[in-house]
Amino acid sequence: MTTFKPIVSVSTTMAASATDVWEAATHWTGVMFMGSKVSTNWHAGHSITLKGKQYKDRGKVATFQRNKLLEFTYYSPLSGKADEPDNYNLVSISLQSTDGGTQVTITQSLAANAEPPDDETLKEFEKNWQAMLENLRSAAEK
């Protein structure tokens, strides 16, 4: 089993219930994943595919605790890296109910043996996850 270490974490509070945030996050159109079509049955250990016009990324659902925690591994052939366990990331989306909303935290982790990215790449990852949080906010707060 691969162990992971966090490299980027972003968080925000949304004016929506955990149920509404969860429904938006797990919608098959991939609201928060830049419009990717998400294919999965949301069962731990089962595959997940995120497909766009020019890519097809994949992984496995690691944790699915409705309205609380979603974790999945993630591999993109566009990375140019071999399809090996050390080249997968772990994405965690955690939800915590607060007064009047839900705190949402997205964490991207690398395999513990993987070479960490440079600072510029980390900033790009953080920028992308912030954009995804905003997409999720727009969908959940409707």
Domains and CATH numbers, the chain: 4-140 (3.30.530.20)
For the entire predicted model, the pTM comes to 0.91
pLDDT for residue 30: 66
| CA atoms of 34 and 5, how far apart (whole Å) | 25
Q: What is the pLDDT of residues 67-120, one digit of tens each?
A: 999 999 999 999 899 999 899 999 999 999 999 899 999 999 999 988 889 999
Q: What is the pLDDT of residue 53?
A: 86
- Residues 94-108 as b/e (b if ≥16 CB within 10 A, e otherwise) read bbeeeeebbebbbbb
Answer whether 141's CB lies under 8 Å from 14's CB: yes
